Amino acid sequence: MISGKGGLVAVATLLGGTAVIVAGLGAGWFGDEAASDGRDLSRGAAIYADACASCHGASLEGQADWQTARADGRLSAPPHDASGHTWHHSDRLLLDIMRRGTAAVVGGGYASDMPGFGDVYSDDELRDVLAWIKTHWPERERAFQAEASARDPET
């Protein structure tokens, strides 16, 4: 297992992108189990497939042209893999967005397609989804995001 995964990582690195790992292994890949933060990754994966993949992509690839606002002024769904910017943000902010939706978090009349899921899923379930998303990030992105979380603690 470990040597197999290491091989894939090495190949992906040679090809210059972690997206290759995700594309190759799909959203069923549980990544680095040791980094699960004790979360239920199977439940996180199942919720992601049910409630998030339609916009963020089955392989966390996001929607086309996600960096450019559409004609209606809204942004498309960003990838949750290392090619996006989810890993730039603290756990506190990501969970807030997942619970309340982006419009409520940004405020000021900001319009967004990202709904809030706080009425649909428990806090525990949303943390499982976030933990599962994190297993798809390479070590460097995980470390960066852990530091962002440490600087912006949940109260």
Binding site for ligand HEC (CB under 6 A): 51-52, 54-56, 75-78, 84-86, 89, 94, 97-98, 102, 112-114, 117, 129
Residue nearer to ligand HEC on the CB measure, 15 or 147:
147
Closer residue to ligand HEC (CB): 5 or 112: 112
Shortest separation between residue 114's beta carbon and ligand HEC, angstroms? 3
Specify the residue, 12 or 91, whose C-beta has the smaller distance to ligand HEC.
Answer: 91
Environment class of 4 (CB within 10 Å of its CB; exposed 0-12, middle 13-18, buried 19+): exposed
Task: Decide whether 8 or 115 has the Cβ nearer to ligand HEC.
Answer: 115
